[in-house]
Amino acid sequence: MRNILVRGVAAGAIALLSLTACSSERSGGDATATSGSTEAAKGFPANSLIGVALPAKTSENWVLAGDLFTNGLKDAGFQSDVQYAGSSTTVADQQAQISAMTTKGAKVIVIGATDAAQLSTQVEAAKQAGATIIAYDRLIKNTQGVDYYVAYDNFKVGELQGQALLDGMAKKKAKGPYTIELFSGSSDDNNSAVFFDGAMSVLKPKIDSGDVVVGSGQTDIKQTATDGWKAENAQRRMDSLLTSTYGSKTLDGVLSPNDTLARAIITSVKGAGKPLPIVTGQDSEVESVKSIVAGEQYSTINKDTRNLVAQTIQMVKDLQAGKTPEVNDTKSYNNGVKVVPSFLLPPMIVTKDNVVEAYANDPNLAPLTK
């Protein structure tokens, strides 16, 4: 992948070394990697049951995904069982849902993991019963049982966010140093560290050179994490950062990993009566697209859920027909015990400058940009 090589060169590492390193960077795991699918596809009857276990509805993309899976699987002739985890008992809910899908004889189970590290027992039981497991959007860790991963390129998402933060601040104020704060997602979601690492690959050199200063000094992912991806947790942390660090100091930018948290950060800053910093985001949520058009939130990421679901359903169709599904990455996603063959889609940065073109083909978002 291009970003891996670019990063390797930037870090002064040789390409081979950087390719090896990238596997564990996306996962936090360090196990010896094996790539490729675990078994040859055998095919199954066309009207089989397909299970889809999604996390709690922590952002609009998950809400959209549920409807798209229900309709798309039906149109493709499958029976489907689409479930969401509840917002407080997420892990137990999802474990029970996957077990129920297995009992009902699902041939493929698509999983958007609530907690990357808590599903190995259920996933392995499902495999034992003959199901193929596709990790959707979020990787499942520490199990051989996951066969495929379908997602937008999460590291690239982080890189785009980091670059947007720098660009946005430079547009507002020609010369640094710029003072920023960093937020990351929920630590039980494998994506959170990948987004953060991608962003830090862009920001760290600027922090090291003094062009960018993290006002609070909180640069460790443990300090920046937002439990459960919950808006109230981000808002609370922003409130306390403003009190502790920004009495007289100006905050120029905030790295926010998604739109829900971006809006919580903006609410906090407004509540404190401070000038709005440059704030990044992700997901193209309706309220954030409106905020970008209004000149408040600076950026978001377009990861069109329709394409991600379509790609996943294509994998299901291939498996049904006894074909090996297409993947385009067999290096990046080490889940701790194996490298999971992946199909990665390209994310797109969206700011006020390209908001009209970015959503021209999205019937829900296009009207908001006119």
Residue 242 or 340 having the CB closest to ligand BGC: 340
Q: How far is the CB of 137 from ligand BGC (least distance, A)?
A: 5
Residue 78 or 152 having the CB closest to ligand BGC: 152
Nearest to 157 by CA among 191, 111, 190, 205: 191
Q: How far is the CB of 357 from ligand BGC (least distance, A)?
A: 21
Residue 93 or 283 having the CB closest to ligand BGC: 283
159 close to 3: Cβ distance less than 8 angstroms = yes
Q: How far is the CB of 265 from ligand BGC (least distance, A)?
A: 14
Q: How far is the CB of 229 from ligand BGC (least distance, A)?
A: 4
- Break the chain down into helix, strand, coil percent, rounded to 5: 45, 15, 40
Q: How far is the CB of 161 from ligand BGC (least distance, A)?
A: 11
Residue 115 or 189 having the CB closest to ligand BGC: 189
Residue 164 or 242 having the CB closest to ligand BGC: 164
For residue 303, which amino acid is it? K
Structure tokens at 83: 């479930």
* Contacting residues for 186 by C-beta, under 8 A, at least 6 apart: 192, 225, 226, 227, 228, 229
Site residues (vs ligand BGC, CB under 6 A): 58-59, 61, 137-138, 185, 189, 191, 229, 258, 282-283
Residue 216 or 258 having the CB closest to ligand BGC: 258
Query: Cα angle at 304 between 198 and 369, to 5 degrees?
Result: 105
Q: How far is the CB of 65 from ligand BGC (least distance, A)?
A: 10
160 close to 154: Cβ distance less than 8 angstroms = no
**CA dist 264 to 160, 241, 298, 321, Å?**
21, 13, 14, 45
CB atoms inside a 10 Å sphere around CB 144:
15
**Euclidean distance between CA atoms 232 and 227, whole angstroms:** 10
Q: How far is the CB of 281 from ligand BGC (least distance, A)?
A: 9
**Euclidean distance between CA atoms 315 and 187, whole angstroms:** 28
DSSP structural state of residue 368: G
Q: How far is the CB of 331 from ligand BGC (least distance, A)?
A: 20
Residue 112 or 325 having the CB closest to ligand BGC: 112
Considering only CA atoms, give the Rg of the chain: 21
Residue 137 or 252 having the CB closest to ligand BGC: 137
Terminal Cα-to-Cα distance of the chain (whole angstroms):
36
